[in-house]
Structure 1
Amino acid sequence: MKAANGWSILLILVLLFAAGCKNTEPEVEKPDPMFPVMERVKSVAVTNDEGTEVLANLENEEVIAALLLGLHDAVPSYIEDPEPSGKLLKVKMTNESATQTYTVNDLRETDSLDYSVKIYVDNSDGPSRAWVLPTAWARLLLGYDSSMNEEPLLYASVNTLSNSVVVQSNRNMNRDSVDKAIKDTLVTSMMETNDQLDYHIYWSDPQRFVIRFAKVGEGNSLLFRLDGVMAETGESFASKSQPFRNQVIVYGKSSGLRWVNTNREIEREQKYDSAVLIQPIWSDNQQDSLLVYHHNDSQSLIKLSTGDIHAMNLTEWPQLKKGYGNDYGTGVLYADRFTSGMSYAVKENKTVYRVNSRTGEASKLYVSEKPIYGIAASPDNKRVAILVSSDSIISSFADLIVLNSLGKEIFRKNKASFSGHSDGFLFVYPISWLDNHRIGVIFQGKGDEEFLRGKAYINIEDASMKKEADVSLPDEAMQLLENYIGGTDAEILRVLPNPSGEKERYYAVQIAATGIWLIDVISHKVSWLGPGTLIQWNDLGEVVLWHSQDSIAFIGL
């Protein structure tokens, strides 16, 4: 009997202990099932969180009724710790007797995977309860109602920190068409990662989704098009007036020079945080190097065939005259030729020097009365040509002046070069000697010419000038490119046929909206090499390019 009583007491103690433990657990607050919708609302005012900027004033009965109906359907949620950070709005709803203020957290442009919009009911301490709303409700709140008859549009933005692409629309989207559009057009700038891309599409509502890429290499960039996306109504989101509107590029996190062979394999790479100019350099009558200009007025001379680097260390400029500012970001510009380490340079767009890149010594040669746009050395390195402004202001036309080794002017041709830009902006004008008698200069953007992009060749023996258009893509290559990029409105900036081997097979092309492409006419293959700037082909049949989010100036003809 005593044993039984002992077990009874023990059982009671266990139950009491369990009950005590249960009572100490915090209760999970359940979200309110229904949003407390205000009745008989007459007006809705939307401002920024501080209340200093009015974003919308709504008084249309149908619009207000639709907003209130949306609030009835709001999905209960929680106040998270921390709350997702979006654009905070204050919404004041007013009826005949009262005004109620709510806080809206607009998350549509963030990389939020689960929510597009959250709305809060506030108490004295701030937001106390939360609900989730769709993109369509936020558009209606900000004055974009369905009666506006907008064409179907997509709005894509990239979050580089999370490797995400956020896409919104003004129509409900067909989800299957989204999957197909991405799969059909997704390409990368690095061949070895093309088959390893792992991504997932997160839908927060029918008018918004987020693509999250799991494995994107540091130097890899991604490109895809969403023209194939359809609305649930069957309408297409492809825009005829903006052909590249639905193109998306996720940029790699590193930049620099890249050498790519015709199989799209990266042979070598030289990373740089930044650069302002890239210039082809001749040495001993071979164009075998590149000069990369950096923001701190330093330069790196790079061998095209090997990637070997020689740092330029010229810092002293004797008898320097106060010069001109420019719009390309460096105070020194070298001529395009180094012979036994000897070359020419212009400092602050005014003073020309003869320089020794090996010893770092410079001697003043010439002072220009007008801003200098470009400089080039003759093949024998005994003369230097410069382009200077044709007018008293910085304008589009440039005069060609040739100096001998003593700095004496021996030739001049007025208005020899032209590059269309607004007055007052000083950019580099490419210039190069073809031989000891002919000089090539840029001639582009002049409306009365037969071509938009081209060159002029001046013979310094008789001052004659010949103009010609830049190389264009042959019809077959153009058709391949247009089929691949999905349109005919691409702005082609440069076309470089492979100068060695199969000259009519490979073409490297730079397009303003997308970057660099490699076209194989025989194999009918088009490959994207990434965003950035097309430089040139080297003697090994490799495409040399600058891979980065921002295109930089290449100052070769």
Structure 2
Amino acid sequence: MRYMAAIVLAAALLSGCQGADKAGVNGSSQSPSSQTEVSPTAMSATPSPSAPSNTEEPLLYIEQLRIIGGGQLVQVKSNFDIDQRSLEQALKNSLQTSDPETEFRYTLEWESPRFVQIRLHLDEDSVWSGSFNLDEAVTADGRKYASTELPYRNTVVIRAGDGEGSLLFQGVTSGTRRVVPAWNTGWIKPVQTRESVAPSYLFYGQEKHHLVHALKGEALEIPAFPQEKDAYGNDYGYHEMYADRFYSGFTYMVSGNKTLYRVDLKDFTRKQLHTFNKPVYGMSSSPDGTRIAVLTAHDDYIGSGADLLVLDEKGNTLLSRENAVYLSHSDGFLFVYPLTWEDDSILLLPADSGEDNPLGTIRYDIGSGTSSVMQDERITDQVTKDIWEHERREKDYSLLSGLHWSPDGRFAAYTSGTGAIQVYDKQKRSFEFVAAGTLLGWMPDGTLAWADVGGHAYTF
């Protein structure tokens, strides 16, 4: 399942807190054997007499750590002696930051010819992120650490800030930037409302949720309901699943991946509409608010296939279709299946992305029962070639299915395999690092929105 792959990879690249205890020990070590400031002045390391055979592939082992009491370290170890000058130059040449005007300061501390600590001097109160790649570093005998099979292996993504989350908006061409205070969360749901063409974003929480209007910054606080009795477990961490549309005074919600409710947004009472016999994988309500589409497990276990149900506003079944959706993933993992209404008669259903379905989306007409693969004429052969070459991942259709196009069709934002947000300029055929965060999409005025919530968040 493409979402699982992206989640696992992003978690591996962006983790920093996992080894906090270990980081505390390393961060308080005695003076290192050599300490080098940012300028690349260190001499190449002398090869160790006990170096492995040259037939062994040179590898860098990179670990990101947060130090107890504050600060961050990036530890880089190798199975061969490292050419110190090449590593420093690789870091300097490849560094990209979310704010070019903010100085990125660090210290290189060489513990041995095969072990360097990159000590980061970051303002943890700022909303800042960056990335660098050590592919161009070489061993003391001149062999590169780059890998064609694992293009992200030597990429490091850094983020400052360890407090509350933020919602950010940036003009790609104008450079304007706006920050709205938000909440740390593991799931952000884009929500459409009738009152605005700009989306709102629902920040899920364990005790309460917050619906933030993107342009106004206003937030509606929604209390979490008690855990549903005999609820189905899931792997996204929240027992409530709200619809992707909020209406005047109400919306829909599935509790415990089991029971559908209509929720009053004034007094937050709820009315039970339907109880499903199998776990709910995903749900969406129609633009007019009179129908709710729900995907439930097809099998008696948590598998890849899902059945489609369309219910009316009272919870009565209007349409049922077995095996309407199939998304490849390991059995037993219940993640949200993304689906939405294109209009009041067309459902956009998820599918595996591939050569025959680059977007991974099926258009399903609930009236005629016909379906077709969704196309996007903006994704030309040139666009595909440019993105695959930049990411060094040929035939990776998940990159294409995750493109978010600007209103004028010139820019495409996407989440790279490193977990960082990139913007592709179709006109210049260039790429720009935006930030390490959760990509949310474009505003009607052409600004790009993303969230910094301390880690990866679902956006299904």
TM-score range, shorter chain: 0.7 to 0.9
Higher relative contact order (CA 8 A, sep 6+): 2
Change over 3 Å in CA distance of 1:252–1:484 after alignment to 2: farther
Check if 1:333 corresponds to 2:241: yes
Q: Distance in 2 between matches of 1:544 and 1:523?
A: 22
Offset at residue 478 of structure 1 (A): 5.4
The one-letter code sitting in structure 2 at the alignment partner of 1:461 is: G
Evaluate the alpha carbon distance shift between residue 416 and residue 287 of structure 1 in structure 2; reply closer, same or farther with a 3 A threshold: farther
Superposed counterparts of 1:195-234, under 5 Å: 196-217=103-124, 218-234=126-142
Q: More displaced, 477-486 or 148-157? A: 477-486
SS in 2 for 1:302: strand
Cα shift at 1:517: 0.6
Larger radius of gyration: 1
The answer as to whether partners of 1:379 and 1:433 remain within 8 angstroms in 2 is yes
SS for the counterpart of 2:93 is helix
Q: Which residue of the other structure, out of 56, 76, 82, is the alignment partner of 1:167?
A: 76
Change beyond 3 A, Cα 1:496–1:543: same
Q: Secondary structure at the match of 2:118?
A: strand
SS state of the match for residue 423, structure 1? coil
Query: Are the equivalent residues in 2 in contact too, given 1:496–1:536 (CA < 8 A)?
Result: yes
1:322 shift after superposition? 3.0
Residue in structure 2 matched with residue 296 of structure 1 by the alignment: 206
Residue 32 of structure 2 aligns with an amino acid whose one-letter code is D
Matches within 5 A, 1:85-234: 114-115=32-33, 146-147=52-53, 149-161=55-67, 162-193=71-102, 196-217=103-124, 218-234=126-142
Q: Identify which of 287, 293, 307 aligns with 1:399.
A: 307
2:9 corresponds to: none
Q: Does the residue aligned with 1:270 lie in a helix, a strand or coil?
A: strand
8 Å CA contact 1:516–1:528 kept in 2: the answer is yes
Q: Distance in 2 between matches of 1:108 and 1:232?
A: 25
The gaps in structure 1 that reach 5 residues or longer are 1-84, 88-106, 117-133
Which deviates the most, 365-374 or 228-237?
228-237
Aligned partners of 2:392 and 2:92: how far apart in 1? 15
Q: 1:270 aligns with which of 180, 196, 199?
A: 180
Q: Distance in 1 between matches of 2:282 and 2:46?
A: 53
TM-score (norm 2): 0.81
Matched residue SS, 1:167: strand
Deviations 1:352-403 (A, max 9, x none): 1111112212111111111111121122212212111112222211111111
CA–CA distance in 2 between the matches of 1:294 and 1:148? Answer: 51
Matches within 5 A, 1:309-324: 309-313=219-223, 315=225, 322-324=230-232
- Per-residue deviation, residues 175-206 of structure 1 (Å, max 9, x unmatched): 3222321111011123331xx22233233333
Q: In 1, distance between residues paired with 2:185 and 2:350?
A: 22
Matched, 1:353 2:261: yes
The CA deviation at 1:252 is: 2.2
Deviation at residue 284 of structure 1 after TM alignment: 1.4
Distance across 1 between alignment mates of 2:181 and 2:308: 36
Aligned to 1:53: none
Q: Is the 8 A contact 1:327 1:427 kept in 2?
A: yes
1:459 aligned residue (365, 374, 377): 365
Distance 1:544 1:513 in 2: 19
Q: Does 1:536 align with 2:441?
A: yes
Q: C-alpha distance in 2, partners of 1:477/1:357?
A: 43
Instruction: Please say which of residues 453-462 and 146-155 is displaced more in the overlay.
Output: 146-155
Cα RMSD over matched residues? 3.3
Matching residue of 2:4: none
TM-score (norm 1): 0.68
Number of matched pairs: 421
Quote the sequence identity (%). 27
Query: How has the CA–CA distance of structure 1 residues 415 and 338 changed in structure 2, closer, same or farther, with 3 Å as cutoff?
Result: same
* TM superposition shift of 1:440: 1.3
Aligned to 1:178, what secondary structure does the other structure show? helix
Structure 2 stretches lacking a partner, 5+ long: 1-20, 35-44
The letter for the 2-side match of 1:156 is I
